[in-house]
Amino acid sequence: MKSDATSTHDARDLSQGSNLSSAAHHLARIPILYVILSVLLVISIVPMYFYSAQVEAINRDRLKTNEMLLQNTVTRSLADDLSQHEHSLRMMLANLSSAIQVASGGDIGNKNIEAPELRALLENFVSSDSDEIAYATLLSSEGKGIFTGRIAPDPFLQRELQHAFDAARDGRAYNGQALRVGDGNSARTVVLVSSPVSYGGRFLGMVGAVVDLQFLIRRLQEVGGGGLIPYVVDSQGRLVAAGTPQYVTGQDMKSLEIVRNFVDDGNKLQVVPTKEFVAHEGKNNVEMLGTYSPVTALDWAVVVQKPQLEAYRGVYEMQRTARLLAILAVLLSIGVSIFAARRITNPLQTLTQFSRALARGDFSQRVHLASRTEIGELADTFNTMSQELEQFVEDLKRAAEENRALFLGSIQMLAGAVDEKDPYTRGHSDRVTRYSLMIGKEMNLPPDFMETLQISAQLHDVGKIGIEDHILKKPGALTAEEFEVMKTHTTKGANILRPVTQLAEMLPGIELHHEALDGRGYPYGLKGDQIPQLARVIAVADTFDALTTNRPYQHAHTPEEALKIIQNLAGKRLDPDTVAALLSVYARGDIRIQRLSIKRPVPAADVASSAPPPMPAPPLPAAEATNLEGTRA
């Protein structure tokens, strides 16, 4: 059987090798269908790609130019509006200053500052442009004065007024920092503008106006939309006003590259090119297109920016259209390619699948191709070959089964012949084999191991064929010398079978089934894990059969008594896991021993060193001298 098994394994290895070789070849080759598809796709996609890329580049440049013109126009227009407002306000302040000089007679000191004429001039100034002038004040040279307007100065505005007064004493006009005053819906963005009042070169005081920038915010909101974001920053890069709520007055905008450019260049550039830059919004980076226009009189700049996604929307729409057309062209090409390629590849694919089935050992497949070409002739050849191979394989399987049956029968006859030499152990090898297979199945041992276990258990006592009959059949106790001879049946059996290389895996069970976990076994005194599992399983089965069969010096133990003795030997002489498997098999009722047993004292030689201490036993018959440190199962 082992020879047949080896032949089967060799055939399986060859088949697996063939499969691996076929798989490697399959991975290495390039299907014709892929070649045809690739060619058609290249022909259809490459020209379209270059064309769409060229059109995209042209349109992108044109759109970018248009967007630059638009942004430059918007910023320039807003910058001109701011300059015009600033100029108008300066003219109004100059007129107010002249009127104050005339009305005060050149004296706006602490005595005249409260004059009704001056207050009336200040109130008329505010009411003349009540939408933009939120507050106005007239201060004397000593810093005292009058004011009017719809807002009350907070500490920040008071600080701006102090800066404006200091500038006025130096003879300078002052443009303040944009501030946010008020709360809730009444909040306003304002800026302080002031001019000195002088007469004959003598500093009289200062006139200042707080301008409501709501007009600027409305203007920014008007030009915004469509993704365009306009806002105004001062020379320090702080936000003055914006058309969207995402930016707040006073916010530092220098994180934007376009604002940093203005802060670095100041009013040096009057014409600023539109450029691309990246804006950081939280954790996201947004690609922008933007520009700015300086407001020279205020040291401000009007900035506009737009996400490139919006600025180049036309290009992106064109890209989507082009890609959709490309996809349709690709799908059409694929359809035509598949139709054309399938006419060629389908027969080849059928033959390939049939070849793989042959490589797997399935010779029942037949090729059905309605083709009058060479491929059809090849298919007929394949069918003839597979039919012959199928018949050949069936013959081989039948011969292998016959050889297997012959091999197992020969082994069983050999074991039976050995058992016949000893009249007390007739059928012993068959029973040990049956018990061993039950134990192995309970332990979920692999099929290959079970095959080895079956043969090894059947032949475990084959070495007794070399033991002299006067020792093997001796009815009384063995002498020490005879016992040593009897113990050689393990090595004799291994030596008998060792020349047969196909039985090499079975030798440990034959040679080592009398080894003990505690090292007190034979022939080598192995301990623990040194004993292979094959020998451990056979040892438990061998011991169970020895205890449950009649011997000349004792009647057979009941299975329960035998299992109790075996349990006592677990971990000492016998493998605990194997013993547990035997107990499970018996508990399930798989082992049935139909014999009457008379309970007798258990000889010391049978129970070895198990507890309780052994009772005196009669001399051991020669037939049992090798079992359990002295018996011969």
As a whole number of Å, the CA-based R_g of the chain is 55
pLDDT of residue 32: 67
User: What is each CA distance from 498 to 269, 353, 493, 506, in whole angstroms?
Assistant: 102, 45, 9, 9
Alpha-carbon dihedral 229, 235, 241, 246, rounded to 10 degrees: 50
CA distance 215 to 236: 22
pLDDT digits (tens, 9 = 90+) for 23-76: 444 455 666 667 776 776 677 667 767 776 777 677 767 777 787 788 888 888
Q: Which of 594, 606, 595, 482 is nearest to 553 (CA)?
A: 606
Q: Tell how many helices (H) and how many strands (E) occur in the chain.
A: 19, 11
Q: Which of 70, 57, 469 is nearest to 306 (CA)?
A: 70
pTM metric for this prediction: 0.47
Domain 422-624 CATH assignment equals 2.60.120.10: no
CB proximity list for 468: less than 8 A, separation 6 or greater: 485
pLDDT of residue 607: 34
pLDDT digits (tens, 9 = 90+) for 486-519: 899 999 888 988 988 888 998 999 999 999 999 9
For residue 371, what pLDDT band results from cuts at 50, 70 and 90? low
pLDDT of residue 513: 94
Q: Residue 300 above 50 pLDDT?
A: yes
Asked if 555 and 412 touch (Cβ cutoff 8 Å), the reply is no
Q: Which residue has the tokens 């003795």?
A: 565
Provide the β-strand partners of residue 229. Answer: 305
Average pLDDT over residues 427-444: 92
Q: Which residue has the tokens 């009941």?
A: 558
Q: Residue 465 above 60 pLDDT?
A: yes
CB proximity list for 165: less than 8 A, separation 6 or greater: 139, 143, 194, 206
Q: Which of 194-203, 471-480, 537-546, 622-631 has the lowest mean pLDDT?
A: 622-631
Q: Which of 126-140, 406-420, 430-444, 551-565 has the lowest mean pLDDT?
A: 406-420
Report phi then psi at 592, rounded to 5. Answer: -125, 120
pLDDT digits (tens, 9 = 90+) for 594-608: 654 434 443 333 333
Provide the β-strand partners of residue 135. Answer: 149, 210
Question: Of all residues in the chain, what percent carry a pLDDT higher than 70?
Answer: 77
pLDDT of residue 623: 35
Neighbours of 143 (CB within 10 A): 14
Asked if 600 and 513 touch (Cβ cutoff 8 Å), the reply is no
Asked if 164 and 192 touch (Cβ cutoff 8 Å), the reply is yes
Q: Residue 590 above 80 pLDDT?
A: yes
Q: Residue 575 above 60 pLDDT?
A: yes
Average pLDDT over residues 389-412: 71
Q: Residue 248 above 80 pLDDT?
A: yes
Lookup: tokens for 535: 């020998």
Query: Parallel, antiparallel, or unpaired for β 188-199 and 179-181?
Result: antiparallel
Q: Which of 273, 276, 319 is nearest to 292 (CA)?
A: 273
pLDDT digits (tens, 9 = 90+) for 411-422: 766 666 666 666
For residue 611, what pLDDT band results from cuts at 50, 70 and 90? very low
Q: Residue 630 above 50 pLDDT?
A: no
The residue that leads in pLDDT, 553 or 464, is 464
pLDDT of residue 15: 47
Q: Is the dihedral of CA 467, 470, 472, 476 positive or negative?
A: negative
> What does the domain layout of the chain look like in residue ranges?
2-53+316-398, 422-624
pLDDT of residue 268: 67
Asked if 78 and 364 touch (Cβ cutoff 8 Å), the reply is no
Asked if 333 and 40 touch (Cβ cutoff 8 Å), the reply is yes
Asked if 439 and 449 touch (Cβ cutoff 8 Å), the reply is no
Q: Is the dihedral of CA 462, 463, 468, 471 positive or negative?
A: negative
Residue-wise DSSP of 461-494: TGGGGGS-HHHHT-SSPPPHHHHHHHHTHHHHHH
Q: Which of 188-192, 354-358, 372-376, 489-493 has the lowest mean pLDDT?
A: 372-376
Q: Residue 8 above 50 pLDDT?
A: no
Q: Residue 434 above 80 pLDDT?
A: yes
Q: Which residue has the tokens 């004993």?
A: 531
Average pLDDT over residues 129-143: 85
CA distance 349 to 32: 10
Phi and psi based region of residue 530 (left: phi greater than 0; alpha: psi -120 to 50; beta: remaining): alpha
Asked if 237 and 220 touch (Cβ cutoff 8 Å), the reply is no
Q: Is the dihedral of CA 132, 173, 77, 177 positive or negative?
A: negative
SS3 for 157? helix
Q: Is the dihedral of CA 433, 434, 440, 446 positive or negative?
A: positive
Asked if 618 and 603 touch (Cβ cutoff 8 Å), the reply is yes
CB proximity list for 474: less than 8 A, separation 6 or greater: 482, 621, 622, 623, 625
Q: Residue 526 above 90 pLDDT?
A: yes
Q: Which residue has the tokens 């701006």?
A: 160
Q: Which of 198-212, 384-398, 502-516 has the lowest mean pLDDT?
A: 384-398
**Mean pLDDT (the chain, rounded):** 79
Question: Of all residues in the chain, what percent carry a pLDDT higher than 90?
Answer: 21
SS3 for 194? strand
The residue that leads in pLDDT, 67 or 462, is 462
The residue that leads in pLDDT, 224 or 548, is 548
